Structure 1
């Protein structure tokens, strides 16, 4: 994809389809399961906070992948 198309795609609104909404929800639900696992197994610490932050980022980027590329 040429860079202009990439920029236009990355900085445009992508109205979700019903199928994409299902995917977003499934991604979020699986991440939520992992978040609870981390909450229950990891001591409160900087590392746990980073794990949670990066899990949130993973969900965001996974959903962006669906939005931008389908």
Structure 2
């Protein structure tokens, strides 16, 4: 890992296009729908907590993948 990678990991990456903003929203919406289904279907317990945590983690990493991609060149 070099300094550029550290900076990329710990810098805010705002969505710079409508497509990226929509992709973030699509990820959040899909994860929310699954989270609500898991919440209603799974019994309370450590396994449910783990599933919910992992889904939240999945949402985070999916949005990071969108946000951290190189900026599109401006026309």
Q: TM-score, normalised by structure 2?
A: 0.80
User: Deviation at 1:64?
Assistant: 0.7
Partner of 2:7: 8
Q: Which whole-Å CA distance do the structure 1 matches of 2:12 and 2:42 have between them?
A: 37
Unaligned runs of 5+ in 1: none
Give the total of aligned pairs.
Answer: 69
Q: TM-score, normalised by structure 1?
A: 0.85
Structure with bigger helix share is: 1
Runs of 4+ in 1 over 3 A off after TM superposition: none
